[in-house]
């Protein structure tokens, strides 16, 4: 895995050994950031279930001013910190070593994030838990302008999002997974 573009371009990133994390492949990451390329400059980026930090680091490399990484696994947290140091992007980042819902609670009062990316373990319904949390709390950091992107297994049900106050604005499908883009309903 590597940083694809921007100021940290071509730098290799460390990944977490084992089956508990699934780093987004370079090809899928490149497609995602081609979609986002015009929306990254000077934004605040929130990377939930961050794993080794590859997505948030790519956002920083491509012009985001700040990225917050949320990951509860200690080995993965150490990997994120090592990757941030290696890419010299640690000054633009914060790492929250907590469960996602606990981290979301701790973020209250923060300035808005323009993009929230989440790549939860597949098949556990964690994307729904996060969306339920975000919809049931008046949060300072997720606004009507915030784009939420969920990486999920193909076929994952998102039929419930309207009742939570979100609308799907785009879906990009790949061979085995997809990116679902959401925003708060107007």
Whether 7 shows a pLDDT value over 90: the answer reads no
CA–CA separation, 133 and 128 (whole Å)? 8
CB atoms within 10 A of CB 115: 22
Q: Rounded to the nearest 5°, which phi and psi values hold at 173?
A: -100, 145
Q: What is the pLDDT of residue 19?
A: 46
Q: What is the pLDDT of residue 28?
A: 87
Average pLDDT across the chain, whole number: 90
Q: What is the pLDDT of residue 124?
A: 94
76: which 2 tokens? 């993965």
pLDDT, average across residues 122-139? 92
> Residue 32, Cα to own-chain centre: how many angstroms?
11
- Domain borders along the chain are 26-176
Q: What is the pLDDT of residue 174?
A: 93
- pLDDT, greater one: 6 or 182: 182
CA–CA separation, 52 and 58 (whole Å)? 12
Q: What is the pLDDT of residue 27?
A: 83
27: which 2 tokens? 């090809």
Whether 186 shows a pLDDT value over 90: the answer reads no
Q: What is the pLDDT of residue 182?
A: 98
Tens digit of each residue's pLDDT (9 = 90 or more) over 39-65: 999 999 999 999 999 999 999 999 999
pLDDT band at 20; cut points 50, 70, 90:
low
Question: Which CATH topology does 26-176 take?
Answer: Rossmann fold (3.40.50)
Q: Answer yes or no: are the C-beta atoms of 77 and 97 closer than 8 Å.
A: yes
Q: How far is residue 134 from each of residues 30, 42, 49, 81, measured CA to CA in Å?
A: 27, 23, 15, 26
pLDDT, average across residues 67-89? 95
């Amino acid at each position: 895995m590597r940083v694809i573009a921007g100021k940290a371009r071509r730098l290799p990133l460390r990944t977490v050994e084992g089956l508990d994390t699934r780093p987004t492949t370079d090809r899928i990451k490149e497609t995602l950031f081609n979609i986002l390329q015009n929306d990254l400059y000077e934004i605040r980026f929130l990377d939930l279930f961050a794993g080794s930090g590859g997505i948030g680091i790519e956002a920083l490399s491509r012009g985001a001013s700040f990225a917050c990484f949320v990951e509860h696994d200690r080995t993965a947290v150490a990997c994120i910190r090592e990757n941030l140091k290696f890419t010299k992007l640690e000054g633009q980042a914060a790492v929250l070593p907590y469960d996602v819902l606990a981290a979301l609670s701790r973020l209250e009062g923060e300035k808005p994030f323009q993009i929230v990316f989440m790549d939860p373990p597949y098949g556990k319904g964690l994307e729904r838990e996060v969306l339920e949390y975000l919809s049931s709390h008046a949060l300072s950091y997720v606004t009507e302008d915030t784009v939420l992107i969920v990486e999920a297994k193909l076929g994952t049900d998102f039929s419930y999002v309207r009742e939570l106050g979100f609308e799907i604005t785009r879906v990009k499908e790949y061979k085995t997974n997809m990116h679902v883009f959401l925003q708060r309903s107007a």
